[in-house]
Chain A
Amino acid sequence: MDNITEFGYKTESEKIKKLKFEGIKNNFEYLYNNNPFYRRYCETLREYGIGDKITPEDIKKYEDLYKIPLLPSDFFKELSTRGLENYIITDNVKVDTFFTTSGTTGTATKYLFDEESLKLINGENIFTCKEILDVKDGDKIIFLAPPPEKSKSGLVQGAYRMFHGIVKDNIYFLYEESIEKEPSKILEELVEKIKREDNGKIHLYGPPFVYYEIAKELEEENKIIDISGKCMITGGWKRWKGGEIPREELYNIIAERFNIEKKDVRDGLGLTDIFMWCPECEYHKKHIPLGLHVSIRDPENFNIPVESGEEGLIAFMSPYIKSYPPFVVTGDIGVETTSVEEFCECGRIGNTIEHKRRARGTLPRGCALVLEELIKRMENEEKI
């Protein structure tokens, strides 16, 4: 496969589709031949009359990618609950590390990776971050989240690796040790300290609820923290204590309190099951990393994509992960807002998607909830 990151977001659709097709098809072939569990699953679906018998030879053109059997993301949770994460590991792949997603409703879901897969993932994550978010060497990043030593969550680990690949050690953490005072005060002091040392752009990265808390504190005290960079949001919008954080209100209050334009407030959709994310462009459209195949599927037949603009389940396939089958259908409802043949208003090639909600009837999950719990725990430990 050509390295997709050698092409930019301005590349014409046919070329991007060809690259996506080759990457996903090759990875499907690899996993079909080397992951006995996944192969059995493909055969089970056939036994149950779900789709035709699919082998790598059947994937001949871009549209055939929809035939690749998808794993529901709930299954990863099921495996973790039973301590069976190793069960889906590909033969002869040496897994070196793991990351987690939600642990809000019991056991956190574990994903096992080999270094080679992580290197490829990080390569594209870095590329996406530079291309869409314009983060550059010399910039500073402040995590509104605990450091990677304290959280195995994909939200923290994936972002740390990605930013480290761009800004090296210019990464700071709001929740470095413990929380002794109001988060807005800690942030204010941290930003001042960084500015005294250097004049580069400062970007913030964290979940919605932390932004909300800090921005509200700043509003109450009528203060502004001038960061000159971007505010990158990731994680779920649900709050630990119920309710949903109002999106527009949060965008506005962040822009106001960090003295940036609203177009520089960027949410991102974390694809924790494959350790990547889809950041928003300046038009607040969530862009799919070029190597990934992300689509919206018919909720009753995962092999069929729904029409652009129609609601369905978000599904994604990665060309990078070898340690487990990275062909996943999530329990999240979304719509495609720009097709892979179209260019977004920002001038970048599609596709872009919009996350609507977790399918009602399932339990809430998402890294932001876990982080909120962790941060609250850190606060409580401090009080004790």
Chain B
Amino acid sequence: MKKKYRAYSTPKDGKIDEYFKEVDKFTLVYPSKPEHLINDFLKDANKLSYEFKEEYSAKDIPKIWDKAGKECIKLCEENLDVLTATTKFPEESLKLYVKNIFDNLKEDYLLKIVKSEIGNIEYLDKFAPSNGGYTKAYGPKYAVHIFPETIGPQPISTFQTGVIKTPAICKPSSKEPIFTTLWIDSLKEVDENIGKYIWSVPWKGGNEKIEDKLFGSEDSAIIVYGDNITIDNVKSKSKGKVLEYPFKAGIEIIKINNSEEINEIATKVVKDISYMDQCACFSPHVVYVIGSSSDSKKLCEKMAKELDNYQIKRKKIGVDEKSVISMLKYTYLLEKSAGLDVEVYSGKDYLIIYEEDPSFQLSPLFRTIRVKPIKNIGELADLLYGYKNYLQTIGTNLKEKEKIADFFEDYGISRVVDIGKMPINKLHHHEGKPLILPLIRWVDVE
């Protein structure tokens, strides 16, 4: 008999109508009438909002999240098989990603985030002294989290609404609902009561029965991860606040000073590319190499060698993804036959393309990367401007990271980091925005 996993989480007792989906050797259990659960939540929203604020102080939340992070690492390790089935990532990579997700979910770090944004955490509980009087911060009555298929944002996103003590509904991806459930189970393991305020209910995006009601309150907030269609859909229906985290892409800017460096650089770039197989917002899509075409080609060769021997294998991909990557590979081979300056380096689960044309192109992901030579950073000014809505992270081995940030001030960039460190480890600002401030409203008593 297949092992069953709940794909939802609710504090409600009693019978919930369910349906089942088979994924590999597992049975995922979904609520067949998610609109009923949403109605239950909305019916109780005022009460939940009141009770959350009564039962917890803001300071409790970082502590609970810290402990739950440790629990969740254990829980994920115990359930790697089902996470592999839903995420398609191999177990060894999931271990790494889970560790990274929770590495900085520490009480003191979370407190620092709150302090840096609002000064005094007590503002989230009561009127506390401020410039010229007393001040309190109010959050929305309830919040909705819309999560992507890729695991990662659940802990910090629920912290954003948890610390302001706003009850929340999480909408996980219907393909990968398990990580969200495991995360809520971990919170409940640390504090059974907190489960009352964080629900997870998967439904098919666009379900008007649910979304018209849930998104229709002015006193709500939605934190949404997804592509532009998803975000536009949410924004068109939402009457409350919307914090959007759309599809983003990164680039790497590299300078090879001497040939001894190439191995080390290749190792770091490969680390950035293979992390979550480029499915994350910070992942590189193009590597720009300041220097000659031969430098770029040498780097490609080393990267290919590195990827051939890389311990962590690529996630399982479907017919569509395989097709798009193969079409790209053959198109470049044709371009090479046509005499264009391109090279193709491919292995079992990667595709590296050296191309003289420096224009930016989004990658079809899954370890597919273009490497392009440029003369200097200035050359990127025109090439990248058209993509400013997509850009997020720059990985570089140049020392002048501040100068790079200044140079790309108008390009939507929100992180400049060392190569090999593109995965978000310490979330400070997300997409250049604070985490808590956009969700609260201040009241001053003078």
Do A and B come together as binding partners?
yes
Across-interface contacts of A78 in B (CB, < 8 A)? 331, 334-335
| Bound Cα distance A48, B343 (Å) | 10
Known contacts A44-B333, A84-B338, A333-B323; 4 additional CB pairs below 8 A are A70-B330, A78-B335, A331-B323, A331-B324
Q: Give A331-367 as 1s and 0s: 1 = Cβ < 8 Å from B's Cβ atoms.
A: 1010000000000000000000000010111100000
Contact-size category for A? 20 to 34
CB neighbours of A37 from chain B (8 A): 337-338
A74 within 8 A of B: yes
* CB-defined contacts of B323 to chain A, threshold 8 Å: 299, 312-313, 331, 333, 359
Partner-contacting stretch, out of B234-242, B314-322, B412-420, B435-443: B314-322
B384: CB under 8 A from chain A?
A: no
- A306 to chain B: closest residue by CB: B319
Asked if B322 and A299 make an inter-chain contact with CB atoms under 8 angstroms apart, the answer reads: yes
User: Residue-by-residue, is B341-367 near A (CB-CB < 8 Å gives 1, otherwise 0)?
Assistant: 000101000000000000000001100
How far, in angstroms, from A299 to B324 measured CA to CA in the complex?
A: 8
A300 touches which of B326, B336, B344, B365 (Cβ 8 Å): B326
**Which single residue of chain B is at the shortest CB-CB distance from A44?**
B337
Q: How far is the CA of A11 from the CA of B335 in the complex (A)?
A: 41
Kindly state the separation between the CA atoms of A84 and B326 in the bound complex, as whole angstroms: 22
Which of A75, A302, A313 sits near B334, CB closer than 8 Å? A75
A359 touching B324, Cβ below 8 Å: yes
Shortest CB-to-CB span from B387 to chain A, Å, is: 15
Residues of A within 8 A of B (CB): 37, 40-41, 43-45, 48, 50, 70-72, 74-75, 78-79, 84, 87-88, 299-300, 302, 311-313, 329, 331, 333, 357, 359-362
- Asked whether, in the complex, the Cβ of B321 is within 8 Å of the Cβ of A361, the reply is yes
B96 close to chain A: CB less than 8 A = no
| With known contacts A72-B327, A329-B330, A299–B337 Cβ distance under 8 A | no
Give 22 A-B contacts (CB < 8 Å), ordered by A residue. A40-B337, A41-B333, A48-B333, A48-B344, A48-B346, A70-B330, A71-B334, A74-B331, A75-B334, A75-B335, A78-B335, A88-B338, A299-B326, A300-B322, A311-B319, A329-B327, A333-B320, A359-B319, A359-B323, A361-B321, A361-B364, A362-B327
The closest CB in chain B to the CB of A70 belongs to B330
User: Which residue on chain A has the smallest CB distance to residue B345?
Assistant: A48
Q: How far is the CB of B433 from chain A (nearest CB, A)?
A: 28
What A residues does B333 contact at CB under 8 A? Answer: 41, 44-45, 48, 50
Q: Which residues does chain B contribute within 8 Å of A74, judged by CB atoms?
A: 327-328, 331
Pick the residue among B327, B335, B338, B344 that contacts A331 (CB under 8 A): B327
- Assess the A72–B324 pair: CB atoms within 8 A: no
Q: Which residues of A contact B344 (CB under 8 A)?
A: 48
Total inter-chain residue pairs, C-beta < 8 Å: 76
Query: How far in angstroms is the closest Cβ of chain A from B370?
Result: 14
A303 to B346, CA, bound (A): 17
Enumerate chain B residues within 8 angstroms of A88, measured Cβ to Cβ: 338
Point out the residues of chain A lying under 8 angstroms from B364, CB to CB.
361
Q: Chain A residues near B321 (CB, 8 Å)?
A: 360-361
CB distance from B293 to the nearest CB of A (A): 19
In the assembled complex, the CB of A303 is this many whole angstroms from the nearest CB of chain B, namely 11
Of the residues A84, A312, A361, contact of B324 by C-beta under 8 Å: A361
Contact in complex: A72, B338 (CB < 8 Å) = no
Interface flags for B283-320 (1: CB within 8 Å of A; 0: not) read 00000000000000000000000000000000000011
Chain A residues with Cβ below 8 Å from B336 are 44
Q: Which residues of B contact A362 (CB under 8 A)?
A: 324, 327
Bound CA span A41–B62, Å: 60
Chain A residues with CB under 8 A of B335: 75, 78
Bound together, the chains give a CA A154 to CA B326 distance in angstroms of 26
**Whole-angstrom CA separation of A361 from B227 in the bound complex:** 12
Partner of B319 from the list A44, A70, A302, A333 (CB cut-off 8 Å) is A333
CB <8 Å contact, B330 and A302? yes
- Residues of chain A within 8 A (CB-CB) of B328 are 74
Also in contact, A299 and B319, with CB within 8 A (given A37-B337, A44-B336, A84-B338) = yes
Task: List the B side residues contacting A87 at CB < 8 Å.
Answer: 338
By beta carbon, the residue of chain A nearest B333 is: A44
Contact B334 A41 (CB under 8 A): yes
Measured CB to CB, the nearest residue on chain B to A313 is B323
- Cα A367 to Cα B338 with chains together (Å): 27
Pairwise interchain contact A312-B319, C-beta atoms closer than 8 A: yes
User: Measured between alpha carbons, how far is A362 from B331 in the docked complex, in Å?
Assistant: 13
**How close is A77's CB to chain B, nearest CB, in angstroms?**
9
Report the separation of the CA atoms of residues A358 and B404 in the bound assembly, to the nearest whole angstrom: 39
Provide the residues of chain B in CB contact with A300, threshold 8 Å.
Answer: 322, 326
Q: Smallest CB–CB gap between A236 and chain B, Å?
A: 17
How many Å lie between the Cα of A331 and that of B320 in the bound state? 9
For the complex, give the distance between the alpha carbons of A43 and B339 in Å: 13
Q: Are A359 and B327 in contact (CB under 8 A)?
A: yes
Minimum CB–CB distance from A189 to chain B (whole Å) comes to 39
Which 9 pairs show the lowest CB-CB distances between chains A and B? A361-B324, A299-B322, A299-B323, A359-B323, A41-B337, A360-B320, A40-B337, A72-B330, A44-B337
User: Closest CB-CB distance, A124 to chain B, in whole Å?
Assistant: 27
Residues of B within 8 A of A75 (CB): 330-331, 334-335
Minimal Cβ-Cβ distance residue in B for A242: B229
Residue of B nearest to A38 (CB): B337
CA distance A254 to B80 in the complex (A): 51
Query: Could you say which residues of chain B place their CB within 8 Å of the CB of A333?
Result: 319-320, 323
Instruction: Closest A residue to B334 by CB, please name it.
Output: A75
Q: How far is the CB of A156 from chain B (nearest CB, A)?
A: 26
A358 and chain B: residue at smallest CB distance? B320
Shortest distance from the beta carbon of A47 to any chain B beta carbon, whole Å = 9
| Cα-based distance from A299 to B337 in the complex (angstroms) | 21
A311–B319 Cα distance when bound, in Å, is 7
Alpha-carbon separation in the docked complex, A45 to B331 (Å): 11
Alpha-carbon gap, A300 to B314, bound state (A): 15
Q: Is the CB of A71 within 8 A of B327?
A: no
Instruction: Find residues 169-187 in chain B having any chain A CB closer than 8 Å to their own CB.
Output: none
A261 to B181, CA, bound (A): 51
Give the Cβ gap from B354 to chain A, nearest Cβ, in Å.
13
Complex CA distance for A78 and B342, rounded to whole angstroms: 14
Complex: chain A residue closest to B362, CB-CB: A361
Q: Which of A71, A75, A87, A361 has the most CB of B within 10 A?
A: A361
> What's the nearest-Cβ distance from chain A to residue B344, in Å?
6
A71 to B338, CA, bound (A): 12
In the complex, what residues of A have CB within 8 A of residue B334's CB? 41, 44, 71-72, 75, 78
For B327, the chain A residues whose CB sits under 8 A away are: 72, 74, 313, 329, 331, 359, 362
Chain B proximity of A43: nearest CB distance (Å)? 8
